[in-house]
């Protein structure tokens, strides 16, 4: 079903989403902080120069400017690397965006999320951004899994009045969805049916989990694969259905296991339906390397996800 969709980086979808919003009449202003050729924000700037600013290497100022734009009725988008947005400007996001009026209309689109940023090494590898973003009370937090989903997620957050954090990635990854797909904030998407275990993943780990499910199928294990693109608000119904119907859960994310997808899923289970769960993520700082080498280095692999599935299944009663 996915073979005809070309590989693309999720960050490449960002300007397409912005352009669609403007074409649909949304009063967007987008800002970059000297990384626009990487976030791809510059492509929006070329098309709509009056709606785009680049403010130099000044993420804190960028957030404050966005808050002022939002206070004036604009839909403000800000972009940088996920290592710096929210990391370099967390306090500004909290005080100037999250708290005023129950949340200002500011959308963060942070590229180069996770370890697949690659050769730049540990300082550039954002493995804390989801923990920070989910801690900002009114924020929606989304980690799309391919180009099409990213474009639709950018459009979707642009049509709410809430603040949002959307994480994109640097490398070209497999396409999962064509234009018939309909992304909704807070709704997961099941990519494969299964009955023994559910692999709940986001971002680049969705494709890794599909490959893990194939490995498990060879062993006669039937794994459901769910793309949980929205970390917050989490799709509780899908998590509970997975727990009820498969009895074991694995979460897989390109983020530390504290404060991201795994934490959000575990909370739902703990509150409503305690279920064996295993977490796949990154719990140490990294090193340089090619992005696909780094997935191996951090054990963000089909083999590790499959192993986690076996561990979770073994803990079923």
Partner 1 sequence: MSAVVETKVSVAELEAIARRVRASIVKMVAAAQSGHPGGSLSAVELGVSLYWNHLRCDPAQPDWPDRDRFLLSKGHATPFYYSLLAERGYFSHDMLPTFRSLGSPLQGHASMGAAPGIEMSGGSLGQGLSFAIGTAFAAKMDGRNSRSWVLIGDGELNEGQVWEAAMAVPHFGLGDRIFVMVDRNGIQNDGFADDIMKTHPRQMWEGFGWKVLEIDGHDMAAVDQALEEMQRPDERPRCVVANTVKGRGVSFMENNPGFHGKAPTPAQLEQALAEIEAGL
Are the beta carbons of 21 and 164 closer than 8 angstroms? no
CA 107/CA 163 separation, integer angstroms: 5
Instruction: Verify binding: residue 66, partner 1, rule CB under 8 A.
Output: yes
**Nearer to partner 1 (CB atom), residue 18 or residue 269:** 18
**Contact with partner 1 (CB under 8 A): which of 13, 35, 40, 76?**
76
Interface stretch with partner 1, choices 87-95, 207-215, 254-262, 304-312 (CB under 8 A): 87-95
Instruction: Verify binding: residue 95, partner 1, rule CB under 8 A.
Output: yes
Binding to partner 1 in span 14-43, by CB under 8 A: 29
**Nearer to partner 1 (CB atom), residue 91 or residue 303:** 91
DSSP state of 190: E
**Nearer to partner 1 (CB atom), residue 19 or residue 201:** 19
Interface stretch with partner 1, choices 15-23, 57-65, 123-131, 210-218 (CB under 8 A): 57-65
At CB < 8 A and 24+ separation, what contacts does 181-186 make?
A: 181/148, 181/149, 181/152, 182/152, 183/144, 183/149, 183/152, 183/153, 183/156, 183/229, 184/156, 185/140, 185/142, 185/153, 185/156, 185/157, 185/160, 185/230, 185/233, 186/140, 186/230, 186/233, 186/234, 186/235
CB of 103 to partner 1, least distance (A): 11
Residue 74 vs residues 51, 66, 141, 150, 266: alpha-carbon distances, Å: 10, 9, 20, 21, 36
Instruction: Verify binding: residue 11, partner 1, rule CB under 8 A.
Output: no
CB of 93 to partner 1, least distance (A): 11
59 assigned to active site: yes
CA 285/CA 287 separation, integer angstroms: 7
**Within 10 A of 280 (CB to CB), how many other CB atoms are there?**
28
Catalytic residue among 23, 24, 46, 59: 59
Interface stretch with partner 1, choices 48-56, 187-195, 259-267, 281-289 (CB under 8 A): 48-56
Residue 226 vs residues 94, 175, 191, 192, 205: alpha-carbon distances, Å: 31, 15, 6, 7, 11
Instruction: Verify binding: residue 296, partner 1, rule CB under 8 A.
Output: no
Instruction: Verify binding: residue 74, partner 1, rule CB under 8 A.
Output: yes
**Contact with partner 1 (CB under 8 A): which of 50, 179, 218, 220?**
50
**Contact with partner 1 (CB under 8 A): which of 7, 46, 72, 316?**
72
Instruction: Verify binding: residue 176, partner 1, rule CB under 8 A.
Output: no
Residues lying near partner 1 in the complex (CB under 8 A) are found at 29, 50-51, 53, 55-56, 58, 60-74, 76, 91-92, 94-96, 99-101
Which residues are known catalytic residues? 59
């Amino acid at each position: 079903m996915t073979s005809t969709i070309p590989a693309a980086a999720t960050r490449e979808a960002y300007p397409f989403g912005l352009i669609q919003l403007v074409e649909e009449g949304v009063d967007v202003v987008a800002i970059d902080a000297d990384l626009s050729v990487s976030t791809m924000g510059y492509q929006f700037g070329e098309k709509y120069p009056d709606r785009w600013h680049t403010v130099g290497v000044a993420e804190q100022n960028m957030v404050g400017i966005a808050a002022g734009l939002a206070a004036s009725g604009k839909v403000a988008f800000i972009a940088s690397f996920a290592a710096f947005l929210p990391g370099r400007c967390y306090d500004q996001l909290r005080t100037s965006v999250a708290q005023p009026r129950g949340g200002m209309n500011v959308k963060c689109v942070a590229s180069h999320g996770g370890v697949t940023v690659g050769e730049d090494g540990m300082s550039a590898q954002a493995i804390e951004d989801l923990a920070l973003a989910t801690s900002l009370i009114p924020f929606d937090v989304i980690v799309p899994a391919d180009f099409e989903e990213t474009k639709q997620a950018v459009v979707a957050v642009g049509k709410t009045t809430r603040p949002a954090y959307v994480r994109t990635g640097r490398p070209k990854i497999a396409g999962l969805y064509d234009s018939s797909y309909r992304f909704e904030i807070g709704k997961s998407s099941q990519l494969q049916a299964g009955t023994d275990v559910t692999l709940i993943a986001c971002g680049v780990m969705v494709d890794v989990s599909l490959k893990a499910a194939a490995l498990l199928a060879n062993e006669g294990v039937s794994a459901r694969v769910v793309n949980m693109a929205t970390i917050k608000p989490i799709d509780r119904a899908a998590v509970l259905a997975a727990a009820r119907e498969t009895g074991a859960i694995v979460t897989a994310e390109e983020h530390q296991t504290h404060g991201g997808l795994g934490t959000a899923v575990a909370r739902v289970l703990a509150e409503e339906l305690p279920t064996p769960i295993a977490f796949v993520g990154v719990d140490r700082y990294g090193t340089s390397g090619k992005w696909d080498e780094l997935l191996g280095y951090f054990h963000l692999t089909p083999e590790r996800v499959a192993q986690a599935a076996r561990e979770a299944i073994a803990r079923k009663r």
